[in-house]
Amino acid sequence: MPTFKLDFHETSAKDPPFDPHAYVALDEWTEDENRRIHLTPQCNSPEELEFWIRALEKELEVIRNEAQNRFKKSRYYFKNRSGKKQSMNN
């Protein structure tokens, strides 16, 4: 089923000092005959749908943690107007 990935962009020493930025992208997916992207396989019960929703949530949680670590390690970490570091959770 779909696999999410973190698409994280940092600037190099040659680039202007822009803040890093990130996207959550679909790395793999399936489409139906109407070209709609499905995030789960066909689910025939509420329990099966719940299983896939939890799997997606876990995958996104891993990406959230990875993104937080990457932003924190970046030399252009988020700063507010006063120059203080800002949490991604704000």
pLDDT, tens digit, 9 for 90 and up, residues 21-74 = 899 998 877 788 999 988 888 999 999 999 999 999 999 999 999 999 988 887
Residues 36-44: contacts with CB within 8 Å, 24+ apart? 37/2, 38/2, 39/1, 39/2, 40/1, 41/1
Amino acid type, 52: W
pLDDT, tens digit, 9 for 90 and up, residues 1-26 = 658 888 988 866 565 556 788 999 98
Distance CA 76, CA 48 (A): 42
